[in-house]
Structure 1
Amino acid sequence: MIESLLIPYISEKFAADPRYRAGHIRVINPLPGTRILGLHIPEMKKVARDLARSQDAELLHGRFLAEKDLSHEEKTVWGLMLDYMKVPLEKRFEMFSGFVPRIDNWAVCDTVCAAARWASPVDAVWNYLRRWWDSDREFEVRFAIIMSMTCFLDEHWLPEVFGKIDSLDFSRISSDYVKGRRPAEGTVSGPAPYYVRMGTAWLLATALAKFPDMTRAYVRDSKLPGDVLKLYVRKARESFRTRTVSPF
């Protein structure tokens, strides 16, 4: 849809080096059939900011919604554009409600969540995220998890976040990476829904860095699956902030 805008920003190394290209794609771990053009995040942010400032931004959102065959970069730019647009909060919620179901890998999800400067720890944003916490689709739930991690990890909201983690039923969350759709070369290395499990572990490891006592007390009493707890310990040990902090 906007590939003509993106092509000039394709990484020369991605285009010229097959090994680099394969590694780039492997990290993203796209679903089969997803087109990867080969842009880096700064270039996608530049395009998204330009689109968000244009008078046609809302019209573009409608065109993105209608287009069924978007590349990885087009989806990322779409979400970033929604982050950068200057619109009322309720309007932003409305537009994100069209975008979130189209997220199909962790890179789109996390890039868009990290740029969501519009989101502040207030009731309206939390109430909006509850819808995605309660979803049965992998990347809709991950969107709620990563948004909560970036916006709601404070002393007031942490019990609410832990409460939503407690409510997760991993067995009912469907993953697009199963039923024969798993990429041949991917990074999924655990039971489905892997990206919800890993997102939960990342959130808990981040909470451990900020509120170690509250986080340890929660984890000790939680009924989280063993594989999620192992991922949490791994994430905590990978971070300079928590590698010497007891996770339990």
Structure 2
Amino acid sequence: METPIRTQLRSLAEPEYQKFAASLIPNITNVLGVRLPAIRKIAKQIASGDWRTYLDMAEDEYFEEVMLQAMVIGHVQADLEELLTRIATFVPKIDNWSVCDSFCAGLKYTKLHPEAMWNFIQPYLKSDQEYEIRFGVVMLLNFYLDKPYIYEVLPLLDQIKHEAYYVKMAVAWAISMAYVRQPEVTMPYLQHNTLDDFTYNKALQKITESHRVTPEDKQRIRGMKRKAKKQVQTLKQITS
């Protein structure tokens, strides 16, 4: 028997929107076609009621069911320990960029607990799982690009060497946003880093696409593009 939540989501599904939404997230095939504002409205209703029972019993078969959980966690009110537990339980369910990015953007209570949340996301940045790393990176770009954190964010991004596409794109996005927010801190990093060519050039591209960057700065950034593969020397420990 279908749950009331799934029935509600099915009733809101739009066939034409389903095709569009599915095309944006090529690595999943479980999209019903419900628009995000409609999911957000349901999430707010759940968060104002018995949200704990909902999260404990929630189903994960469809993209929208996972997205709904992400949004509910962003809207609930609870103590920090419980919030962190709920976040940690949810992160393994992330299997696409859309859920990841919406989830991170919704965790606005990070602003109330910046140091605790900073410590919480550090292990995800060192993970070997694509979307765990992306979760950590997108949290950085959403909440930690101001001083003093920016001085720690850039070295952390430089240490991420995972080959997954959605990790590289997240790192490039974060670096571009760092430049937009803190150009005087980020420019020296762009001039001296160990990013792979794809991530580095993508970061430059995203900077030049920003309306908040001056034409003069965009011209300078374009001139920094790597035209040939950069050879990065790494220190290797030699044991006898």
TM > 0.5 fold call: yes
SS at match of 2:109: coil
Residue 109 (structure 1) aligned with residue 112 (structure 2): no
Q: Return 5+ residue gaps in structure 1 as ranges.
A: 171-191
Question: RMSD in angstroms over aligned alpha carbons?
Answer: 1.6
Alignment of 1:147-158 (within 5 A): 147-158=139-150
- How far did 1:243 drift? 6.3
Identity of aligned residues (%): 27
Q: Which has the higher contact order (CA 8 A, sep 6+)?
A: 1
Equivalent AA in structure 2 for residue 52 of structure 1: A
Change (3 A) 1:243 1:39: farther
Distance 1:229 1:53 in 2: 43
**Among 186, 198, 202, the residue aligned to 2:169:** 198
1:135 equivalent in structure 2? 127
- How far did 1:117 drift? 1.4
Alignment of 1:61-100 (within 5 A): 61-64=55-58, 67=59, 69-100=60-91
Distance 1:131 1:59 in 2: 28
Larger-Rg structure: 2
1:9 equivalent in structure 2? 12
**Among 204, 218, 224, the residue aligned to 2:189:** 218
Distance 2:123 2:38 in 1: 31
Superposition TM-score, scaled by structure 1 size? 0.82
SS at match of 1:242: coil
Distance 1:205 1:168 in 2: 16
- How far did 1:3 drift? 1.2
Distance 1:164 1:142 in 2: 13
2:213 equivalent in structure 1? 242
- How far did 1:169 drift? 2.5
Distance 1:124 1:240 in 2: 33
Determine if contact 1:6/1:47 at 8 Å carries over to the other structure. no
- How far did 1:38 drift? 0.5
SS at match of 1:236: helix
**Among 22, 27, 33, the residue aligned to 2:24:** 27
- How far did 1:30 drift? 3.3
Comparing 234-243 with 99-108, greater Cα deviation is found at 234-243
1:49 equivalent in structure 2? 44
- How far did 1:162 drift? 1.2
1:230 equivalent in structure 2? 201
**1:162-189 CA deviation, whole Å, 9 max, x = no partner?**
121122122xxxxxxxxxxxxxxxxxxx
Change (3 A) 1:91 1:80: same
Superposition TM-score, scaled by structure 2 size? 0.84
Distance 1:40 1:111 in 2: 13
Change (3 A) 1:119 1:127: same
- How far did 1:80 drift? 0.7
Distance 1:59 1:131 in 2: 28
Residue 60 (structure 1) aligned with residue 63 (structure 2): no
Change (3 A) 1:47 1:165: same
